[in-house]
Structure 1
Amino acid sequence: MKRRTFRVEAAHVNRALGEALAAELGVPREEAARLVGVGAVYVAGRRSRDAGTRLTAGQVVTVVLEEGGQSPLAAAAAPALALRVLHEDEDVIAVDKPAGMTAQPTEGRVGDSLVDKVGEHLKRPAGLVHRLDRETSGVTVFGKTPRATTALAEEFREGRARKRYLAAVGPVSLPSEGTIDLPLSKDPSRPGRWRATRAANGIPAFTRYRVLHAGSDFCLVELLPQTGRTHQLRAHLTALGAPILGDKRYGGAARAGGLPAPRCLLHAQALELGHPGTGQPVRFEAPVPEDLARFFEAARVPAPLGAIR
């Protein structure tokens, strides 16, 4: 992410935000106003969408100039991603999160997050109980009432929620199935990354896996995380020498077998848990997105469906 921060000094006191921003960035006032309008500007730590806001001495102004290699103005001009509802009843809503959408609002976010989209759909705040990385697609559930949200959160906290992910990785020699038992810790040499190793004092993390296709150009794997750690699947596969294709942060290749990997090709395909209203087990499944489906088609193997084994 690329950003610019400045403190309001005498020259900008009582000036309009858009005017001060234009002067600081050396851009036309119209462009500065557009940056404010798309939510890329923060005053004293809070997003401001009013270019006419008057500034006071000592305030800190931050503007997001680039995120993920893209200008916030270009991101705002891109077509909005539609909400894909997989299931909805009086207690829960399950949606298929598209790749590229953040799970919840962050300071660097200039577009809509998934929790925003679901809230708009429900016409009230949605109960977020778990998160997928921005580039990861697939099943995400929300509670529609405080009681349902609490019950769903407990399913994840107590480890009763079962998850199946699918991923395309580079060619690697692995047993047909197994368990990755490697603790996770933040990588001090690479901010934003986690490392899976016994050499550091990390937190326990367990991932069961099954190889669906082993080829000379790429492999397809089914991943069944037994714990829910940040970047767990990405770090575990990297530790095995098989970073997920398209995962720039962990060194995944951008192409394999003549096929492009435009993003981290990780998909949360299925989720099983107890329904917050009935207590009965339910399963939600999200279709494999086109970018990952191309690899399954090239390998001529079907994506797993049905109960999580």
Structure 2
Amino acid sequence: MPAAPAAAAALQRPEIRRIKLTVAPADEGERLDRYLSARGGISRGEARRALERGGVYLEGSRCKVASKAVRAGQSVEAVLEEAGRVEKAPAAPLVVLHEDEQLLAVAKPAGVASQPTLTGDVGTLPWLVGKHLGRKAAEVPTVHRLDRDTSGVVVFGKTATATRALAAAFREGTAQKEYQAVVVGRLEGSGVVEAPLGPAPGRKGSHAVVASGSPAVTRWEVLAHHGDDATLVRLLPETGRTHQLRVHLAHLGHPIVGDSRYGGPPRAGAVEAPRFLLHARALELPHPSGGTIRLEAPFPPDFAAAAGIFSLESPPAG
């Protein structure tokens, strides 16, 4: 007699999933449970349950302390059970900006996660890079990251030595990052935002300017205006806090167009935003083999369309 549907379902075992992460400099000092939740794409409760079960490993050693502070460069692995969901891979091929024996620089598309999540590796940036290098996604360590909807330059080490050198550059502040964004309203001139950032009270996954937060500094410069409706700005972050640029611009009263989390509308004048309009335009850092390398990512079509409204086909990256 065929088994009843309920009995058949009972025989199905949940798939074991592993999240493998490398702590980026921006996450230095974060609690382990919060880090797993924010970077692993799981809830805070799931992170704590994994810790309680002994399923979390810090630098290869089991850790059950939720409040343990993580350090840049550390490896974090969490063993989880989930229903076997698979994320669809994007159709667009990986865009390689530069490659040599030590490093690989790519243009991350908007909508692609920078690290593996609970839904699996497929479709994430490490998965795309792994396919290019002939490796598994878990064998592609991440030394820095962009938010899912941010496009632009991301760099990877191709050897363990190169990965350590790149991680040190971000940790020590010798990696110089440049972003461009389209913000709401008319911002004038240039300036510096020095405002500490931390988790936003009562808003899971969001950050805010809080007195007890981590120091955060962003330099900004206006590139062009679209009347009084929108402004194209260059951003030079001196620190790398989570959502730093998005929160600092909102703090100025000029949120990024399309950034609904921080008050940005989907449209500003003739500028329409299919996602929040933030692009990692350039990255300059010490090359693991010596000297300095500058990497630049061209605008993707959605950002190029918005920039074109400012009568600038491609604002200078430097």
**Same structural fold, with TM-score higher than 0.5 when normalized by the shorter chain:** yes
**Alignment match of 1:235 (pick from 231, 238, 247):** 247
Aligned to 2:170: 156
Q: Structure 1 residue 275: deviation in Å? A: 0.6
**Alignment match of 1:176 (pick from 163, 181, 189):** 189
Aligned-partner Cα distance in 2 for 1:83–1:61: 30
Is 2:89 the counterpart of 1:85? no
- SS of match in other structure, 1:149: helix
Aligned to 1:244: 256
**So what's the TM-score if we normalise by structure 2?**
0.72
Is 2:154 the counterpart of 1:140? yes
Segments of structure 2 that go 5 or more residues without pairing to the other structure are 1-5, 15-45, 56-79
Amino acid at match of 2:306: F
Aligned-partner Cα distance in 1 for 2:224–2:150: 21
Q: Structure 1 residue 305: deviation in Å? A: 3.0
**What is the percentage of aligned positions where both structures have the same residue?**
50
Aligned-partner Cα distance in 2 for 1:268–1:187: 24
Amino acid at match of 1:15: L
Is 2:192 the counterpart of 1:192? no
Deviations 1:219-274 (A, max 9, x none): 11100000011100000011111111111211211112233201111000000001
**Alignment match of 1:203 (pick from 203, 209, 214):** 214
**So what's the TM-score if we normalise by structure 1?**
0.74
Residue 127 of structure 1 contacts residue 146 of structure 1 at CA under 8 Å; is this kept in 2? no
- SS of match in other structure, 1:141: strand
Q: Structure 1 residue 79: deviation in Å? A: 4.8
Amino acid at match of 2:166: L
Structure-2 change in CA distance of 1:121 and 1:61 (3 Å): closer
Residue 113 of structure 2 contacts residue 125 of structure 2 at CA under 8 Å; is this kept in 1? yes
Of stretches 109-118 and 80-89 in structure 1, the one that deviates more from structure 2 is 109-118
Structure-2 change in CA distance of 1:110 and 1:127 (3 Å): closer
Residue 212 of structure 1 contacts residue 301 of structure 1 at CA under 8 Å; is this kept in 2? no
Residue 272 of structure 2 contacts residue 306 of structure 2 at CA under 8 Å; is this kept in 1? no
Written as runs of structure 1 = structure 2, the 5 A alignment for 1:26-45 is: none
Q: Structure 1 residue 139: deviation in Å? A: 0.2
Residue 245 of structure 1 contacts residue 261 of structure 1 at CA under 8 Å; is this kept in 2? yes
**Alignment match of 1:15 (pick from 11, 18, 37):** 11
Aligned-partner Cα distance in 2 for 1:107–1:83: 22
Work out which of the two has the higher radius of gyration on C-alpha atoms and give 1 or 2: 1
Structure-2 change in CA distance of 1:109 and 1:262 (3 Å): farther
Q: Structure 1 residue 295: deviation in Å? A: 2.0
Segments of structure 1 that go 5 or more residues without pairing to the other structure are 1-9, 19-41, 47-59, 65-71
Residue 127 of structure 1 contacts residue 145 of structure 1 at CA under 8 Å; is this kept in 2? no
Deviations 1:40-77 (A, max 9, x none): xx9x979xxxxxxxxxxxxx96449xxxxxxx78x63x
Number of aligned positions between the proteins: 248
Amino acid at match of 1:218: A
Aligned to 2:72: none
Amino acid at match of 2:208: R
Q: Structure 1 residue 140: deviation in Å? A: 0.2
Amino acid at match of 2:172: E
Q: Structure 1 residue 113: deviation in Å? A: 0.7
Amino acid at match of 1:288: F
Aligned to 1:290: 301
- SS of match in other structure, 1:154: helix
Amino acid at match of 2:111: G
Amino acid at match of 1:161: A
Aligned-partner Cα distance in 2 for 1:107–1:139: 24
Is 2:116 the counterpart of 1:105? yes
Structure-2 change in CA distance of 1:63 and 1:161 (3 Å): same
Aligned-partner Cα distance in 2 for 1:79–1:234: 25
Q: Structure 1 residue 294: deviation in Å? A: 1.5
Structure-2 change in CA distance of 1:249 and 1:108 (3 Å): farther
**Alignment match of 1:263 (pick from 275, 296, 317):** 275
